[in-house]
Amino acid sequence: MSVRVFVDTNVLLYLLSKDEVKADRAEEILRLNCIISVQVLNELTNVARRKLSMSWSEIGDFIDLVLGLCVLQPLSLESHERGRVIAERYQLSVYDAMVVASALCAGCETLYSEDMHAGLRIDGHLTIANPFRR
């Protein structure tokens, strides 16, 4: 059985980066048949539009690419409720906690994120890892 891997928004954004080392690492991670959530797609769309000034058409093409590489974990009341508990217990932002909750609901063992607490183990099942740290 393979390890189930969840990917945070920032990892996907490196696919668009001029930083070749990080872009290559992001591509390598996506070869693992990663899982993402609708929350990740929402954040990706927001950053692409507001910070990268991408057109709606470019954003749609990028989302299509991501969905072709990743499995989508749907949002649910369970993930929302679990996210609220995680936010309180681990002192994470609500949005980060919702990503963590989706990863747990998907049965993932690893959550790749550059900006969450690397090394943090959530509920004894999920470890947050920074894939760009050496």
Q: What is the pLDDT along the chain (134 residues), one digit of tens a residue?
A: 466 999 999 999 999 999 999 999 999 999 988 999 999 999 999 999 999 999 999 999 999 999 999 999 999 999 999 999 999 999 999 999 999 999 999 999 999 999 888 999 999 999 999 999 87
Sign of CA dihedral 118, 119, 124, 126: positive
* Helix then strand then coil, % of the chain, to nearest 5: 55, 15, 35
Residue 1 pLDDT: 47
What phi, psi does 100 have (nearest 5°)?
A: -60, -45
How crowded is residue 25: how many other Cβ atoms within 10 Å of its Cβ? 16
The values of phi and psi at residue 18, to 5°, are: -85, -10
All structural domains of the chain, each given as residue ranges with its CATH number in brackets, are: 5-129 (3.40.50.1010)
